[in-house]
Amino acid sequence: MTKISLKFSAYVPSLIIVVGPTASGKSGLALQIAQRLNGVILGADSRQVYREFDIGTAKPSLAEQQQVPHYLIDICEPTETLTVADYQAKAQELIQQIHVRQEQVPLLVGGTGLYVNAIAKGLIIPRVAPQPNLRQQLTELGQPQCYAFLHQVDPAATQRIHPNDAVRTLRALEVYYATGHTISAQQGENPPNYPLIYVGLDCGEDLRQRIAQRTHHMIDAGLVDEVHTLINRYGADLPLLNTLGYAEIKQHLAGDVSLAEAAALVIRHTQQFAKRQRTWFRKEKAIEWFDANAPDLIDRVWDYVSDRLVGLDAKPVMGGPSFLSP
C-alpha cells in the first residue's frame, strides 16, 4: 500500500488514541489512519511490550510494522519487569520527541486501559522498585490466591486486572506491601497539555464471533508451539505464561485439557476480558465510538479525526519522513 502523509501548514502537537475491546480491529484501523497521516503507532498493550510473546498477544506482524513505525512493542525480555511508571516514562519521551520534530502525528493504540490512562490522564504512579523475594513468595502462593487477596485489599485494581494476569497482580501487591497503600489510592493525575482525540472501536454482539475466529487463527498460526518454546526456554512458572491465552494452552501441554477444551477456555476468558475492557473504556466520555462492522469505517473515522486535528491544512502528499528508528 502506498504511504500517504499530510503536509502541515501549522503543526499543533496532539495525540490520537484508538481504544476498544480485544479483537475489535483497533490495530488495523490505526494502521490505516497512521498511513493517511504519516503517523507513528505507540503500543498500549501490557503484554506486547515483551519479546517472544507474539501470537498469543496478537502482536502486529513484521509486515504491518514495516508499513508504519511501531514503538513500545518488543522492548523487554520476558524475564524483565516493566511497571506502568516505566511504560509511562518511555511513552511520554517518545511523544515529546515526535512533537518536537513537528512532522508526524502519534497514535496511541491498545486495550490496556491503565496504559492509556497513564498517558491520556498523566497518572501519577507510585515508583516502587521490583522486589524479587516478595515476587517469589507470591508466585509460590499461586495466581488464584494472589488475585483473591488483591481483591480484598484493592477491589478497584481487580476491576481493571484480569484474574489470569499474574504480572499486574504481582505488581499491585508489590506496591501495597512496599507502601502500605493500594496502587489505586496512590494514582493522582497530571493531564498532558496537548489535545487528545479519542476513537473507540466496537462491534456489539459480533465481538463474540470475532474472538472465536481469532482464537482459532492463533492456534492455526502456531500458538501451541509458541507456548511450548517459551516453557522450554523460561520455565512453566514464568508469570507471563499465566496470562490470557497462554495459561490455557499451558494446561493443554500439561495434559490437563484437550486442545479443543483449551481453545474453548481461551474464547470464554477472552470474552470475559472484553466485557471488562468495554466497562473500563465506556467510562471515558471523550471517546467517539464507531461500529467496527461499518463498510465505510475508515472514511468515517478519518473524517472525525481530520476535522479535529486543529491547525492542520490537510493536503495529501506521497511518502513522508520517518524520523525515529523503530
Annotated binding site for substrate: 22-27
100-112 residues labelled b (16+ CB within 10 A) or e (exposed): eeebbbbbbbbbb
Task: Residue 114: name the closest of 152, 57, 70, 171 by CA.
Answer: 171
DSSP H or E run through 174: helix 166-179
**What is the greatest pairwise CA distance in the chain?**
62
Could you please report the per-residue DSSP string of 214-241? HHHHHHHTTHHHHHHHHHHHH-TT-GGG
Q: What are phi and psi of 236, to 5 degrees?
A: -70, -15
Cell readout for 134 is 516478595
Task: Residue 124: name the closest of 154, 84, 151 by CA.
Answer: 84
The 8-class DSSP code of residue 41 comes to E
Provide the sign of the torsion angle of the four alpha carbons 39, 217, 250, 272, taken in this order.
positive
Q: In Å, how far from its chain's centre is CA 22?
A: 9
Annotated binding site for ATP: 20-27
Amino acid at 214: R
Report the half-sphere exposure of 19 (CA within 13 A, side-chain side).
29
Cell readout for 325 is 528508528
Annotated binding site: 20-27
CA–CA separation, 121 vs 119, rounded Å?
6
